[in-house]
């Protein structure tokens, strides 16, 4: 599959970067390996394997291969929501961020506002009770105190 | 005799009420994770690891182990009733289990899966009980060169069992080795791949990486598909006890699956998934009526379900005797032991006999609990399957977020999880496997240390790997395994 060429080239770039980092860290000698020894040889191994993968792969896609691009934006919205959650967690506090996070995802799934809001609130408070109060996890609190 | 006193001591530990409770929680959550598609045992154990920090090491590991083998039981329920594997090791169970359900024999399929799992799980714990202390004594004499050679062999075995291409599996192992070098180098004190970011200076956390690769990415991938209505067979409440004929058909496959699963479980990278497939293939070949397979053969449920449970037991051998994980779940358990201040390896049985024997004997108890838990509660598990994925996945993501954050109370670890979630999503789309990456990431730093220690021992001479017969043997075997598949085309 041609997509193996794409991923192979991407990994080749990673490999070159790792090998370069290894070199700058210092390989040491073969008998006294330095901090760059593993990164360098790991990078070299990855690079050689990537080249092998690219060379072996025919340039044309085999017909009938599944499409790479999904038909829906759901994965991207979810990924964005996770990142947003992390960036806002220590700003707003656990309960408000969790509420917003769940609300967004339920709305994404085209649930009604009432269902989404109630479920998100219940989920946020429930998770707070479970993790903070029962399991004694240290969750960040925001300006509201939770 | 040593084993007897060990087992006796183990039961004293495992039967303490608090440990019984943790064992129960573990197998209960394990069954839940097994039943629910889209959340595997690796992600679940990573998720719950932080919640065990307050518990004693024994209780913590008993619970986490319970999740693992509990998931092997639960997975079959979903395969049989919905034709969707609850987790990866139950894929083959769909083939005949679902057909049996359509023929009105769901009860027999569920029953034999539970009994087969129980028998295999127990047999494999018995084997573990006798083999682990013996192996721990043998491996006690291993020095750094033997360890290095053994880990090299382990990594090549891992790629040998790769389901996709060997080249890609080796690439993933290389990426994992690189991931393992992130952070401060223990010998020189220099930072590698940290770029001045504090989270990275401590090294990549195993928990966020696993939750990203096996938890987040799975959800993202599932979101690509619009939800279909699941056809769930009304779970039977009677007829779960296999008939005499069922037993006659299944007893040999269960025994064969147990042996096969146990030994495949020990090998790095093989594990429960390969074991279940191998058992199905073996049963089909051994059967006098191979055409019945795929058309509701009870052997096709009994064998693989036995195999995946036996593999879960076998996987503890390298962890408890060598401190080397055989699969991603064992990698987290290794991390869990270390977080609790224990050094897994040949010394564990001497240094922490309560943990060593406590874990092993708790599995006898856990397997019995699972049998009781599974049969009468099947209707409850089936009802759970009616919860739509669109309601479930926001909570899976939320639990992952809380889990990643709470290991070190650091948002940075959450970001690591997010990055590996995206990476894992892309890896799946481009047909790469995550397991070799995780194992190499855990084994890599151990290997690097063993290599450097060996070279210090030998004053820089590589002869040390050739002149010590055990090390040389492991390395030779690794070389053969490495070269063989590369010689084949693709």
Q: What's the pLDDT score for residue A1?
A: 55
Q: What's the pLDDT score for residue A59?
A: 65
Count of C-beta atoms within a 10 Å radius of residue B241:
13
Facing residue for B390 by CB, picked from A33, A79, A109:
A109
Alpha-carbon distances of A35 from A14, A39, B147, B483, rounded to whole Å? 18, 8, 20, 28
Chain A residue numbers with beta carbons less than 8 Å from the beta carbon of B395 are: 102, 123
Q: How many residues does chain B have?
A: 490
Say how far apart CA A89 and CA A146 lie, in whole Å: 11
Q: Check pLDDT > 50 for residue B113.
A: yes
Q: What's the pLDDT score for residue B63?
A: 93
Q: What is the average pLDDT across B11-18?
A: 88
The model's confidence at residue B290, banded by pLDDT at 50, 70 and 90, is: confident
Q: Which helix (H) or strand (E) holds B453?
A: helix B435-457
Chain B residue numbers with beta carbons less than 8 Å from the beta carbon of A56 are: 167, 490
CA-based diameter of chain B, in Å? 70
Strand partners, B192: B183
Say how far apart CA A32 and CA A40 lie, in whole Å: 14
Q: What is the average pLDDT across B142-164?
A: 81
Contact of B311 with B268, CB cutoff 8 Å: no
Say how far apart CA B16 and CA B21 lie, in whole Å: 9
Q: What is the average pLDDT across B254-264?
A: 91
Say how far apart CA B174 and CA A39 lie, in whole Å: 10
Average pLDDT of chain B, as a whole number = 85
Q: Check pLDDT > 80 for residue B128.
A: yes
Q: What's the pLDDT score for residue B62?
A: 92
The burial of B196, by beta-carbon neighbours within 10 Å (0-12 exposed, 13-18 middle, 19 or more buried), is given as: exposed
Say how far apart CA B111 and CA B266 lie, in whole Å: 27
Chain A residue numbers with beta carbons less than 8 Å from the beta carbon of B391 are: 106, 109, 119
Residue A58, chain B, CB below 8 Å: the answer is no
Q: What's the pLDDT score for residue B242?
A: 82
Domain residue limits at B152: 2-487
Q: Check pLDDT > 90 for residue B423.
A: yes
Say how far apart CA A63 and CA A79 lie, in whole Å: 30
More confident residue, B47 or A50: A50
Instruction: Domain count for chain B, please give it.
Output: 1
Q: Check pLDDT > 90 for residue B21.
A: yes
Q: What's the pLDDT score for residue A4?
A: 83
Q: Coil, helix or strand for A33?
A: strand
Chain B residue numbers with beta carbons less than 8 Å from the beta carbon of A39 are: 178, 181, 192-193
CA dihedral of B441, B445, B451, B457, whole degrees rounded to 10? -160
Say how far apart CA A46 and CA B171 lie, in whole Å: 5
Contact of B417 with B402, CB cutoff 8 Å: no
- The domains of chain A are located at 2-56, 74-134
Alpha-carbon distances of B19 from B10, B59, B64, B484, rounded to whole Å? 11, 5, 12, 47
Q: Coil, helix or strand for A30?
A: coil
The model's confidence at residue B490, banded by pLDDT at 50, 70 and 90, is: very low
The model's confidence at residue B229, banded by pLDDT at 50, 70 and 90, is: low
Least confident residue range of B29-38, B138-147, B226-235, B293-302: B226-235
Question: Which residues 31-50 of A are in CB contact (within 8 Å) with B?
Answer: 31-39, 42-43, 45-46, 49-50
- The H-assigned helical ranges of B202-298 are 206-210, 217-222, 244-266, 271-286
Q: Check pLDDT > 60 for residue A95.
A: yes
Residue A2, chain B, CB below 8 Å: the answer is no
Residue B183 has phi, psi (to 5 degrees) of 110, -165
Q: What's the pLDDT score for residue B164?
A: 63
Q: What's the pLDDT score for residue A61?
A: 60
Q: Tell me, what's the ipTM?
A: 0.90
Enter the tokens of residue B144: 């750094």
What confidence tens digit (pLDDT) does each residue in B327-372 have?
888 888 888 888 888 888 888 888 888 888 999 999 999 999 998 8
Q: How many residues does chain A have?
A: 146
Task: Give the gap in angstroms from C-alpha A86 to the nearest C-alpha of chain B.
Answer: 6
Task: Tell how far CA B130 is from the center of its chain.
Answer: 21
Least confident residue range of B264-273, B420-429, B442-451, B480-489: B480-489
pTM recorded for the entire structure: 0.84
């Amino acid at each position: 599959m041609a997509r193996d060429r794409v991923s192979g080239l991407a990994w080749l770039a990673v490999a070159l970067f790792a090998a370069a980092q290894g070199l700058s860290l210092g390989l040491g000698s073969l008998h006294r390996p330095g901090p760059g020894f593993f990164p360098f040889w790991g990078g070299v191994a990855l690079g050689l394997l990537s080249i092998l993968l690219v060379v072996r792969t025919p340039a044309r896609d085999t017909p009938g291969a599944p499409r790479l691009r999904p038909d829906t934006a759901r994965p991207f919205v979810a990924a964005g929501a996770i990142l947003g959650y992390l960036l806002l967690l220590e700003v707003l506090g656990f309960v408000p961020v969790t509420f917003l996070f769940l609300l967004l995802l339920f709305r994404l799934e085209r649930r009604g506002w009432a269902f989404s809001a109630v479920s998100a609130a219940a989920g946020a408070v429930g998770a707070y009770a479970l993790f903070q109060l029962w399991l004694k996890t240290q969750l960040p609190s925001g300006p509201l105190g939770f | 005799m040593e084993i007897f006193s060990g087992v006796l001591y183990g039961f004293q530990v495992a039967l303490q009420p608090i440990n019984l409770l943790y064992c129960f929680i573990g197998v209960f959550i394990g069954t839940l994770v097994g039943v629910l598609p889209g959340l595997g045992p690796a992600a679940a154990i990573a998720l719950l690891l932080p919640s065990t920090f307050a518990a004693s090491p024994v209780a913590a590991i008993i619970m986490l182990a319970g999740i693992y083998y509990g998931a092997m039981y639960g997975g079959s329920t979903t395969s049989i009733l919905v034709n969707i594997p609850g987790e990866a090791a139950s894929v083959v169970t769909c083939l005949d289990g679902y057909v049996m359900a359509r023929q009105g024999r769901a009860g027999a399929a569920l029953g034999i899966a539970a009994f087969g799992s129980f028998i295999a799980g127990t047999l494999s714990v018995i084997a573990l009980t006798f083999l682990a202390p013996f192996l721990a004594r043998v491996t006690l004499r291993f020095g750094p060169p033997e360890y290095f050679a053994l880990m090299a062999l382990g990594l090549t075995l891992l790629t040998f069992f790769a389901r996709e291409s060997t080249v890609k599996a080796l690439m993933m192992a290389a990426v994992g080795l690189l991931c393992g070098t992130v952070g401060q180098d223990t010998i020189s004190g220099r930072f590698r791949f940290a770029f001045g970011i504090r989270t990275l200076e401590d090294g990549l956390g195993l928990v966020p990486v696993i939750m990203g690769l096996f938890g987040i990415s799975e959800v993202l991938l599932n979101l690509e598909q619009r939800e279909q209505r699941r056809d769930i067979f009304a779970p039977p409440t009677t007829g779960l006890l296999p008939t005499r004929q069922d037993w006659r058909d299944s007893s040999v496959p269960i025994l064969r699956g147990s042996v096969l699963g146990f030994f495949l479980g020990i090998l790095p990278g093989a594990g429960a998934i390969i074991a279940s497939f191998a058992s199905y293939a073996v049963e089909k070949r051994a059967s006098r009526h191979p055409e019945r397979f795929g058309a509701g053969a009870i052997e096709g449920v009994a064998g693989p379900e036995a195999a995946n449970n036996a593999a879960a037991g076998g996987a503890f051998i390298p962890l408890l005797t060598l401190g080397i994980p055989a699969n991603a779940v064992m990698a987290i358990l290794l991390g869990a032991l270390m977080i609790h201040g224990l050094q897994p390896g040949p010394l564990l049985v001497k240094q922490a006999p309560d943990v060593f024997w406590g874990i092993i004997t708790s599995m006898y108890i856990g397997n019995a609990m699972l049998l009781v838990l599974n049969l009468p509660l099947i209707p409850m598990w089936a009802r759970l399957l009616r919860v739509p994925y669109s309601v479930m996945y926001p909570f899976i993501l939320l639990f992952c977020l809380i889990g990643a954050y709470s290991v070190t109370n650091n948002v940075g670890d959450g970001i690591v999880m997010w990055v590996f979630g995206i990476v894992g999503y892309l890896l799946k789309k481009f047909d790469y496997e995550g397991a070799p990456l995780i194992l190499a990431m855990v084994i890599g730093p151990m290997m690097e240390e063993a290599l450097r220690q060996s070279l210090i021992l030998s004053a820089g001479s590589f002869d040390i790997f050739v002149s010590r017969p055990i090390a040389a043997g492991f390395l030779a075997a690794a070389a053969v395994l490495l070269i063989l598949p590369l010689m084949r085309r693709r």
